[in-house]
């Protein structure tokens, strides 16, 4: 955009985004949770293998349903114990073979193992071991990755598929079961077991270690840290229902812990997989060590999240919104995969329990109304100060890119009619896309808009002010009336915008959609 050499006029006051309401006390959690883990170690009286459920470093789900819980909250808590613990990563070799991807980050489990090692070490944690669970001799991807890790200086252990696990306790707890697994040599008495995702074999690895410790005369025990469901919140509390929505594709459901009710006469919340496996886990612990220290699945846990909620209504509303987001995500996933509606139907039932509808997501209605008015895809974004920003499709910009520019203009106090990017600066990019890069969509997407805005910031004060407000988009909510391409999804994820979409493509004939 051409710039005048005359002095710039005073900038209008920029919007001051309101801080999101907080429902969770992060500092209390760090102190309370770390001390509770220390207490469990003292109770065990020896080496403690602590299985960490969910995401250890970047728990985005927890940060969404418990405002105030930061994605790195668990790491910040574990930093209080850093000199006492080491971290072991378990990865299911079958997931490596099928190139399983972490949906929230868009990277394979193999890449995520490397990322986790780097992140933990950057925070000063001891990480020396990676366990390959269910690694068979015909799994070439798993064996190749194991050799790669060893070349990088990591120690690895191979765990095999054990026939009859976990029901055949006699075989599992024998030389023909856990005895075939390679032992993980650890140097500290608190071993945190984590993984790239679910189904990685963390529990089996912990039990295998306890078996081998027992064979070596080492006293050790097991505990579990699973953030959700929150055991001391009611079964159908929105925070617990949001977890059920998040795991609807895994057939997880929240249940009253029957073992805890029988042992203590008290209702607490657990989930079906822990309840189902508990009798076998207790039997395995008894067979390995002679006795199980736990009377219920809840007893195994060390989760203090429920004790750190300081504004329950804030968390209730955040959880209700998460349930609606999960519903839209399921619809889009099913549309992309041309799959049946099993998962979305499950979440629809959960929405009924939580008393929410899609219309309770404030950005849905305005986006749909704008699409109806313009006859083209549209989007809407709700800022922290309550301002609703919309974006419509134009010959120059896609609706998401337009919405992003409109939001930045509002936050920077720039005239909404002003052009941060002139048509003259956009047209060469469109020509490059269509004439040389083979794109059939000439409109600029969010990544292209941000790059163009960055280029113009060298000469434009308004562009600089707009870019400076990108950070204010974190934890805002948006909705688009068409399925986003992978690039736009990645941009929204990087900016921290929680976006949902209608389950349809921009063109009715589209079978493959990248952008």
Q: What is the pTM of this model?
A: 0.86
Last residue in a domain, options 308, 326, 350: 308
What is residue 487's predicted lDDT score, i.e. its pLDDT? 87
Pair (88, 222) in one structural domain:
yes
Pair (304, 416) in one structural domain:
no
Residue 335 lies in a domain: no
What is residue 1's predicted lDDT score, i.e. its pLDDT? 32
Torsion from C-alpha of 52, 53, 56, 58, nearest 10 degrees: 180
Pair (166, 247) in one structural domain:
yes
Tokens of 197: 């995702």
Q: Is the dihedral of CA 222, 223, 225, 231 positive or negative?
A: positive
Residue 422 lies in a domain: yes
Q: What is the CATH number of the domain that holds 507?
A: 3.40.140.40
Pair (190, 94) in one structural domain:
yes
| CA contacts within 13 A on the Cβ side of 162 | 27
What is residue 484's predicted lDDT score, i.e. its pLDDT? 94
Torsion from C-alpha of 55, 61, 63, 65, nearest 10 degrees: -140
Tokens of 177: 């079961």
What is residue 48's predicted lDDT score, i.e. its pLDDT? 96
Last residue in a domain, options 308, 337, 370: 308
Pairing, β 220-225 against β 190-194: unpaired
Residue 178 lies in a domain: yes
Contact at 8 Å (CB) between 129 and 184? yes
Pair (64, 185) in one structural domain:
yes
Residue 229 lies in a domain: yes
To 5 degrees, how large is the angle CA 501–CA 507–CA 508? 95
Domain of residue 120 covers: 26-308
Pair (170, 282) in one structural domain:
yes
Residue 357 lies in a domain: no
Residue 319 lies in a domain: no
To 5 degrees, how large is the angle CA 243–CA 244–CA 250? 110
To 5 degrees, how large is the angle CA 151–CA 155–CA 156? 100
DSSP H/E element including 102: strand 101-102
Pair (179, 299) in one structural domain:
yes
Helix and strand totals (H; E) in the chain: 20, 14
C-alpha 182/C-alpha 155 separation (Å) is 11
Contact at 8 Å (CB) between 360 and 323? no
- The mean pLDDT values, 10 residues at a time, for the chain of 515 residues are 36 58 95 96 92 82 94 91 96 95 83 95 96 96 97 97 90 94 97 92 94 94 93 97 93 94 97 89 86 93 96 97 98 95 96 97 98 97 96 91 96 90 70 60 81 84 93 96 92 95 77 46
C-alpha 370/C-alpha 298 separation (Å) is 49
Pair (210, 294) in one structural domain:
yes
Residue 6 lies in a domain: no
Last residue in a domain, options 308, 328, 346: 308
C-alpha 431/C-alpha 428 separation (Å) is 5
Per-residue DSSP letter, 8 = P
Residue 348 lies in a domain: no
Beta strands in 245-324 (DSSP E): 254-256, 269-271
C-alpha 43/C-alpha 27 separation (Å) is 25
Query: What are the Cα distances from residue 222, in Å, to 83, 175, 311, 351?
Result: 20, 21, 32, 35
Tokens of 258: 């029957």
C-alpha 24/C-alpha 295 separation (Å) is 30
Pair (402, 275) in one structural domain:
no
Pair (481, 402) in one structural domain:
yes
Q: What is the CATH number of the domain that holds 86?
A: 3.10.630.10
CA distance between the termini of the chain: 26
Pair (455, 373) in one structural domain:
yes
What is residue 430's predicted lDDT score, i.e. its pLDDT? 65
In this structure, the chain runs to a length of 515
Pair (284, 383) in one structural domain:
no
Q: How many domains does the chain have?
A: 2
| Helix, strand, coil share of the chain (percent; to 5) | 50, 15, 40
Contact at 8 Å (CB) between 225 and 53? yes
């Amino acid at each position: 955009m051409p710039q005048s050499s005359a002095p710039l006029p005073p900038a209008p006051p920029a919007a001051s985004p309101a801080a999101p309401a907080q429902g969770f006390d992060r500092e209390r959690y760090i102190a309370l949770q770390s001390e509770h883990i220390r207490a469990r170690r003292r109770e065990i009286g020896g080496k403690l293998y602590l299985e960490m459920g969910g995401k250890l470093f970047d728990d985005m789900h927890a940060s969404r349903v418990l405002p105030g819980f930061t994605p790195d909250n668990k790491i910040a808590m574990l930093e209080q114990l850093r000199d006492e613990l080491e971290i072991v990563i378990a990865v299911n070799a079958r997931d490596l073979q099928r190139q399983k991807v972490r949906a929230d980050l868009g990277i394979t489990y193999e890449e995520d193992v490397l990322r986790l090692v780097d992140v933990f070490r950057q925070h000063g944690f001891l990480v020396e071991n990676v366990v390959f669970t269910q690694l068979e001799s015909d799994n070439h991807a798993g064996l190749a990755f194991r050799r790669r890790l060893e070349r990088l200086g990591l120690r690895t252990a191979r765990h095999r598929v054990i026939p009859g696990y976990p029901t055949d306790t006699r075989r599992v707890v024998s030389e023909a079961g856990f005895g075939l697994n390679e032992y993980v040599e650890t140097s500290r008495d608190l071993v945190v077991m984590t993984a790239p995702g679910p189904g990685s074999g963390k529990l089996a690895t912990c039990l295998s270690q306890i078996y081998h410790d027992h064979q070596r005369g080492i006293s050790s025990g097991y505990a579990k840290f699973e953030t959700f469901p929150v055991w001391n919140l009611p079964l159908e509390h929105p925070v617990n229902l949001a977890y059920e929505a998040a795991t609807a594709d895994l057939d997880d459901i929240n249940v009253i812990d029957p073992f805890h009710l029988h042992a203590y006469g008290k209702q607490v919340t657990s989930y079906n997989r822990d309840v189902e496996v508990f009798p076998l886990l207790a039997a395995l612990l008894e067979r390995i060590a002679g006795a199980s220290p736990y009377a219920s699945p809840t007893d195994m846990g060390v989760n203090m999240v429920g004790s750190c909620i300081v504004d329950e209504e804030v968390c209730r509303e955040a959880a209700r919104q998460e349930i609606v987001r999960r519903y839209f995500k399921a619809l889009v996933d099913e549309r992309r995969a041309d799959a049946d509606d099993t998962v979305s139907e499950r979440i629809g039932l959960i929405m009924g329990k939580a008393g929410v509808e899609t219309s309770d997501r404030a950005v849905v209605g305005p986006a749909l109304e704008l699409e109806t008015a313009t006859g083209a895809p549209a989007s809407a974004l709700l800022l922290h100060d309550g301002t609703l920003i919309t974006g419509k499709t134009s010959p120059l910009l896609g609706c998401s890119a337009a919405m992003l520019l409109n939001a930045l203009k509002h936050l920077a106090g720039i005239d909404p009619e002003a052009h941060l990017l002139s048509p003259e600066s956009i047209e060469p990019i469109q020509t490059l896309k269509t004439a040389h890069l083979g794109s059939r969509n000439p409109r600029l997407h969010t990544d292209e808009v941000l790059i163009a805005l960055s280029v113009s910031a060298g000469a434009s004060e308004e562009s600089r002010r707009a870019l400076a407000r990108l950070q204010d988009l974190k934890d805002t909510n948006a909705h688009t009336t068409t399925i986003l391409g992978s690039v736009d999804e990645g941009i929204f994820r990087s900016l921290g915008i929680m976006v949902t979409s209608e389950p349809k493509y921009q063109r009715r004939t589209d079978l493959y959609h990248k952008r």
